[in-house]
Amino acid sequence: MKTWMLKTNNDPLTRTRNFLKDIWDYADLDGMLIPMYQADHKSVKQAVIHHPGSLRDADPFVPLMQANAGRMVADLARKHPNDNMAAILRPCEIRALYEQVKHTGVDLENWLLIGVDCAACFPLQDFNWRVEIAGNVEALTNEVLRNVRQGSIALDRFRPACGMCARPGTPQEEICIQLLGLPAKDTILIGINNDVIIEKLNLENVCDGLAPHELIQQREKMLKTIEERREHIRERQMNELTPDLPANIEQFITFLENCQPCTSCMEACPDGENIFSAIQNNTMNHEVVMDWISSCAECGMCEQACPKEMPLVAIADRIRRDLHVESLPI
Ligand code: SF4
Ligand code: SF4
């Protein structure tokens, strides 16, 4: 992988938007899926934009996740197979998207996937008051960006699923926007692992030179620290699961059947279609639940949607461990 610098001049958001505009032009895109500020700049939504000028209201680093965009990319790729598109995705969205590719064979030939390091997301119920205190969404994002050098803001303020996520660094995507461990007010990094893309996107001119080895190492060191810290949190959350919560597949089936008519977790899950139709049709079995938890991207959308606030990511992880099933790679 080649790693380049973006000099941010105290404004990493604006520098990244300008970088994305350049990418848009060189890649000759028809559209981009990216979090967009709504008119009041106090809320944000994933949206497809069709003009690079709209990027002035885009926020690739917003600390909120209302839905898993990996699933949205798969749906869009099916509906508009000939459009030349890009998407900004967090690591858990990339994992979910690859599960969609595996299960549905959706073709991403015309998609440019741009991964971003994830500095974690606030719980839905906290986001609005945090925006009010900060002034607007952009100010809240900037607050988070000021803390990426140390990894992120104190983890107990974020969603439990983010606290457990040991893999917040972008995997080896076509383009990776790298933040963690870096002095974002001065420099962020762009990793590219494809020489054709480097040439096509004119990276030599779009970026501000190749990254020095020290900065690359600084980020890698931070990713290692985050991994160790969060594995520790994961253990703690696992140990805090109470005995009444499911510890194996059969108990999980009974637990989900007892929740009916609620199916919110399955509907929010990027890969929840099969389990949703199984519970609707009364055909839940060991295999369906096993498939569900084996393809889990650990995005936390299920527990965010759960009216009973069940720790579903930790429950699924405990069952996977018990069965020696690995988490998804990357
Ligand atoms: S089960 Fe939950 S954490 Fe796993 S992919 Fe589905 S929504 Fe995300
Ligand atoms: S969202 Fe919560 S209450 Fe609803 S089915 Fe899932 S675990 Fe049960």
Give 129-182 pLDDT, tens digit per residue. Answer: 999 999 999 999 999 999 999 887 765 688 999 988 888 888 766 799 999 999
Written as one letter, the residue type at 207 is C
pTM of the predicted protein model? 0.94
Cα separation, 272 vs 284, whole angstroms? 13
Cα separation, 94 vs 89, whole angstroms? 6
Classify 177 as helix, strand or coil: strand
| Residue 284 in contact with ligand 2 by CB distance below 6 A | no
Pocket test for ligand 1, best of 165, 269, 304, 325 (most atoms within 8 A of CB): 269
* CA angle, residues 100, 106, 107, in degrees to nearest 5: 130
- Of 297, 268, 245, 299, residue with least CA distance to 103: 297
CA nearest ligand 2 atom 2, residue: 306
**Cα(261) to centroid(ligand 2), Å:** 9
* Residue 34 CA: distances (Å) to CA of 69, 176, 209, 275: 9, 15, 26, 28
Cα separation, 8 vs 188, whole angstroms? 7
Cα separation, 226 vs 180, whole angstroms? 9
CA nearest ligand 1 atom 2, residue: 302
pLDDT < 50: residue spans in the chain: none
Which pLDDT score, from 0 to 100, does residue 329 have? 67
Instruction: Yes or no: say if 60 and 33 are a contact pair by the CB < 8 Å rule.
Output: no
Classify 276 as helix, strand or coil: helix
Give per-residue pLDDT as tens, 219-245.
Answer: 999 999 999 998 999 899 999 999 999
Instruction: Quickly count: other Cβ atoms within 10 Å of residue 170's Cβ.
Output: 25
Which pLDDT score, from 0 to 100, does residue 207 have? 96
- Of 287, 311, 285, residue with least CA distance to 298: 311
Q: Residue 302: nearest ligand to its CA? A: 1
Cα separation, 171 vs 159, whole angstroms? 21
**Cα(263) to centroid(ligand 1), Å:** 13
Q: Which residue is listed with tokens 């998207």?
A: 97
Buried b / exposed e along 63-101 (16+ C-beta atoms within 10 A):
bbbbbbbbbbbbebbeeeeeeebbbbbbbbbbbbbbbbe
Which pLDDT score, from 0 to 100, does residue 195 have? 83
Structure tokens at 306: 């759960």
Which pLDDT score, from 0 to 100, does residue 312 have? 97
**Cα(308) to centroid(ligand 2), Å:** 7
Instruction: Quickly count: other Cβ atoms within 10 Å of residue 210's Cβ.
Output: 14
Cα separation, 162 vs 239, whole angstroms? 17
